[in-house]
Structure 1
Amino acid sequence: MNILDKAIAAISPEKGLKRVAARQRLKIINSGYSNYGASHTKKSLLGWLYSGGSAKEDIQENLATLRQRSRDLYMGVPLATGAVKTCRTNVVGGGLRLKSQVDYEVLGISEEEASKLESKIEREFALWADSPACDIERLDNFYELQQLAFLNWLMSGDVIVTLPVTKRINMPYDLRICLIEADRLSNPAGNTNPRIVGGVEVNEAGEVVAYHISTHHPLSFEAIETKWTRVEAYGAKTGRRNVLHVMNRERIGQRRGVPFLAPVIEALKQLGRYTDAELVAAVVSGMFTVFIEKESASSETALGEIIPEEQQVDSADDGTLELAPGAIIDLNEGEKAKELNPGRPNTAFDGFVIAICRQIGAALEIPYELLVKNFNASYSASRGALLEAWKMFKMYRTWLANDFCQPIFEEWLAEAIAKGRIPAPGFFADPIMRKAYCGAEWNGPAQGLLNPVQEVTAAEKRVANGFSTRDRETMELTGGDFYKNVQQLKREEQLMKEVRNIAEEANSK
């Protein structure tokens, strides 16, 4: 009741009561969303505790907990490990491979010249990418770094990549890839600048201008002083990308990525606990132990084999009682043994786990069949599950290619052209020429075939009707290269022709 209602009620209680009743009726008569999801009067929604904030409050302030819990699930819950690795294997596999696609029309060259240039670019890139020399730590090649970057992207929400330049023996290229774990991108100690969020600095327009990277991992136990290095996002003179921030945003204004498992952390943890409890119960139920009651106390050793100390789970704790398969245990006077039947294996376990796995798979866009590698349904159902999963895999592959592979390739190509190893007139003079030289496709592992005969026949019909090309179908069916296949087939046919001629000559003699 507001001040006006109180004043009216003091003068005329009857009118005041009518005003209060009218206000209550207005609250009940909702319209639009206020009658559904935004209702404050429905009993089904009265117990809903909710609150919201900007991307900073909702995401950034919870990232440290989300990262550590996601990593813990990856290391200890099989279903979480399987979900992350399934995504990694199908998106990256053995690595996304370069297929150079220069725009010969812009460059003013013939198709044959463009094909030769593309082959040279791919050959030179393989020299650098196939060697661990491309890694600043000199451990992984470019394709293994893709796997590592994507795996950390899934677990931590984002990955930081810097592109330092160092010289190495027997390697003509100086570009190096340095992967940095997400935790090291953080606000400097004592930071009061509101434009630095999660180590990402923006200007007044909201453009990312710098990254603040710590020299020491914040979760490490090493007693080392932590310092921060401010790395500009782009070179002031050249515009070169100094930092690649591999992440997927889900909110406007978001500066850091969210771990892949974040929406299902609670479900995965609870399912892991339930699975562990069922496993322990099943093991206990398998230990058939006999207890012997005595009317008087006995100091004799129990009948049967006593559990050896080295086989005990917790031999240091005298208060721990352990069971063993087939053991016979004496009891003291007045003690009774009560049979304990845990009823394991639990008949409802499988159905419950399947139901939870379906929900987890729906949230992660990984169908249940693929999540648990169980294809017991019909052909059409299994194929439908794979097709749905591959929509997500292709989307992630595109993101990885755009945010990681392509920028690194462009930096490498600039170095190769600057050093004269690849001829590219106009590359540094005209942005459209630069883009024409940098054209590329990144091909990864192909989708599996449930029925190869039907799917190959469908591919033939698509090509025959102009819906697709042989090059694209080859890439999608086998992950291969149509032109290289044709060249190899040409050599093989020539060889087989020579063998047949030799055989015919031998038979004629």
Structure 2
Amino acid sequence: MNIVDRVLAPLFPGAVVKRLAERQAIQAFEAAKVTRTHKAARQSQSADASLQRDGVSLREQSRKLDEDHDLVTGIFDRLEERVVGGSGIAVEPLPLDYAGNIHTEFAAQIKTAYAEWSLRPETSGELTRPQMERLVCRSWLRDGEALGQMLLGKVHNFEHLHAVPFSIELLEADYLPWNYNDPAQGITQGIARDAWRRVKGFHLLKQHPGTVLGYSLSFDTKFVPADRMLHIAYRKRLGQNRGQPLLHAVLMRLADIKDYEESERVAARISAALAMFIKKGSPDEYVPTPSSTDKGGQAIGGRSIPIAPGMVFDGLLPGEDVGMIESNRPSQFVESFRNGQLRAVAAGTRIGYSTATRSYNGTYSAQRQELVESQLGYELLQRDFIDSWSRKVYRAFIDMGLLSGVLKPPGNVNMDSVYSAVYQGPVMPWINPVQEANAWESLVRAGFADEAEVARARGRNPQELKRSRTAEIETNRAKKLVFSSDAFHTFYGKVTLNADLNKP
């Protein structure tokens, strides 16, 4: 209260209260006011409390749309391609020697063993590493999270399918129960944490709650320590315990699009099936339409009029006229309405509009701008996937490879660097290869980029590329062949052929 309010309060308390209320209303944010047209929906619960109530429903709706809605299936397909890709997350080992140089011998040893392990990395032996990563990525984005139990070393009643004793048991998010809460033990939604919110372990169901014979009522769980679990979750709030589906904000819009398109399809089919109708005249002129009967004398249908191109029909009865049905389906506004809705869907799912709709109209500049902006979203998801899954898997592989003796580092390898690696996912495709290549060449010649960066930008491993080029040059030298790629540039930009290539 100001000084005027303090003076008037003992004499006119009601007026002072009214003054304070009006002053507060004037100073308040307009967006905070609840009116007839502005409901001002609010969320005051914690992330865990909110998902405790709605998490299962959001996950099941996303799964159902992925099963039945072609647009949603396409969105997750494209996200798989742009986040993980057909070859999976490529890992380029970079162990160092004590001089700080890359130890190429040990790097090649790691790469060979990792490639062999990647053929059957999970417990069933049915999936390769790229296939496993794509399924994990899809489950993560669709369900909000995915799980993997790491089997390290000897495991009872299990045999590893490769020399390195390390396998992954893939688990859907359903194995981590939402309703397993014990605040006294620090357990929230199946995850046990300490006082600093550091994860201690996971309480997993021993069988999937949705079995073939119906939902299982069993709540038999097992505890798996955090250092043996992989948990990748799509989180949107600080302190969020579990993940939420990528589609959580657009579920209603996608469901509406599906229902609207289905209604338009049905309307178009009905309109296409109706050709014409016969208009009757006055009742005095009406003549009943003869009908066909079966052997029992029951009517089986009315008069039918065969229709053929160029036909002339003179079979109308007295008082009848033919009317044509004008079909206005499908509506001319279907595509514009659908595209407008899909723009909103693309904005809420980190995917490009052209990618979601498969519509690539526009200029080079417009397509380039959209590709650049959408690539930022793909790279963000890609880094999350690498940090939460790929890096942990690779480091566990290195640990078990060293412990089992499959990986034998030479004496000059700096053991502090054995985990060093570059993780490479799908890169942004080139719209105009000539312009892209010229830009990279200018950067390399100016010293603002190196050859390895260019190779990785094209999805190639720099070391493999150099070995391939070396072998190619040696072959060209033996056959006395010289190509434009065998030339080198001077500092002045002139091209000079290597004379040694022409020597036998």
Q: TM-score, normalised by structure 2?
A: 0.80
Alignment of 1:303-342 (within 5 A): 303-304=303-304, 341=326
Asked whether the 8 Å contact 1:100–1:118 carries over to 2, the reply is: yes
Q: Per-residue displacement from partner, 1:265-316 (whole Å, max 9, x unpaired)?
A: 011110111111111112222113444566436542334499xxxxxxxxxx
| From 357, 362, 380, the counterpart of 1:372 | 357
| From 363, 380, 384, the counterpart of 2:369 | 384
Give SS of 2:127's match: coil
Matched, 1:215 2:206: yes
Instruction: Output the CA distance in 2 between the equivalents of 1:137 and 1:473.
Output: 38
Q: Counterpart in 1 of 2:101? A: 111
Instruction: Output the CA distance in 2 between the equivalents of 1:433 and 1:498.
Output: 39
Instruction: Output the CA distance in 2 between the equivalents of 1:405 and 1:51.
Output: 34
Matched, 1:140 2:127: yes
Alignment of 1:155-194 (within 5 A): 155-165=142-152, 166=155, 168=159, 171-186=162-177, 193=184
Instruction: Output the CA distance in 1 between the equivalents of 2:480 and 2:23.
Output: 94
Could you say which structure has the higher helix fraction?
Answer: 1
Instruction: Output the CA distance in 2 between the equivalents of 1:48 and 1:340.
Output: 48
Give SS of 2:213's match: coil
| From 477, 486, 495, the counterpart of 2:475 | 495
Asked whether the 8 Å contact 1:152–1:181 carries over to 2, the reply is: yes
Asked whether the 8 Å contact 1:462–1:468 carries over to 2, the reply is: yes
Q: Counterpart in 2 of 1:62? A: 54
Q: Measure how far apart 1:337 and its partner are.
A: 11
Q: Counterpart in 1 of 2:491? A: none
Q: Counterpart in 2 of 1:19? A: 16
Instruction: Output the CA distance in 2 between the equivalents of 1:182 and 1:191.
Output: 19
Q: Counterpart in 1 of 2:248? A: 262
Alignment of 1:71-470 (within 5 A): 71-94=63-86, 95-102=88-95, 104=96, 107-109=97-99, 111=101, 114-129=103-118, 131-132=119-120, 134-165=121-152, 166=155, 168=159, 171-186=162-177, 193=184, 195-222=186-213, 226-234=218-226, 241-292=227-278, 295-296=287-288, 298-300=290-292, 301-304=301-304, 341=326, 343-424=328-409, 435-470=416-451
| From 458, 482, 485, the counterpart of 2:462 | 482
**Alpha carbons of structure 1 residues 444 and 51: separation in structure 2 relative to 1, 3 Å:** closer
- AA of the residue aligned to 1:38: A
Q: TM-score, normalised by structure 1?
A: 0.79
Unpaired segments ≥5 residues, structure 1 = 235-240, 307-327, 329-334, 502-509
- AA of the residue aligned to 1:89: E
**Alpha carbons of structure 1 residues 371 and 434: separation in structure 2 relative to 1, 3 Å:** farther
Asked whether the 8 Å contact 1:60–1:256 carries over to 2, the reply is: no
Matched, 1:36 2:23: no
Asked whether the 8 Å contact 2:455–2:465 carries over to 1, the reply is: no
Q: Measure how far apart 1:257 and its partner are.
A: 0.4
- AA of the residue aligned to 2:49: E
Q: Per-residue displacement from partner, 1:250-272 (whole Å, max 9, x unpaired)?
A: 21221100101111001111011
Asked whether the 8 Å contact 1:215–1:229 carries over to 2, the reply is: yes
Instruction: Output the CA distance in 2 between the equivalents of 1:194 and 1:351.
Output: 55
Give SS of 1:262's match: coil
Instruction: Output the CA distance in 2 between the equivalents of 1:153 and 1:200.
Output: 17
Q: Measure how far apart 1:39 and its partner are.
A: 3.5
Asked whether the 8 Å contact 2:247–2:348 carries over to 1, the reply is: no
> What is the aligned-residue identity percentage?
21
Q: Per-residue displacement from partner, 1:380-433 (whole Å, max 9, x unpaired)?
A: 110111111111111111111111111111111111111222224899xxxx96
Unpaired segments ≥5 residues, structure 2 = 281-285, 293-300, 307-312, 314-319, 482-504
Give SS of 1:19's match: helix
Give SS of 2:31's match: coil
- AA of the residue aligned to 1:302: G
Select between 52-61 and 66-75 the one with higher mean Cα deviation: 52-61
Q: Per-residue displacement from partner, 1:449-485 (whole Å, max 9, x unpaired)?
A: 1100000110111112222211111111x20123322
- AA of the residue aligned to 2:469: L
Aligned length: 446
Instruction: Output the CA distance in 2 between the equivalents of 1:343 and 1:349.
Output: 12
- AA of the residue aligned to 1:96: I
Asked whether the 8 Å contact 2:85–2:134 carries over to 1, the reply is: yes
Instruction: Output the CA distance in 2 between the equivalents of 1:396 and 1:189.
Output: 29
Give SS of 2:54's match: helix
**Alpha carbons of structure 1 residues 372 and 435: separation in structure 2 relative to 1, 3 Å:** farther
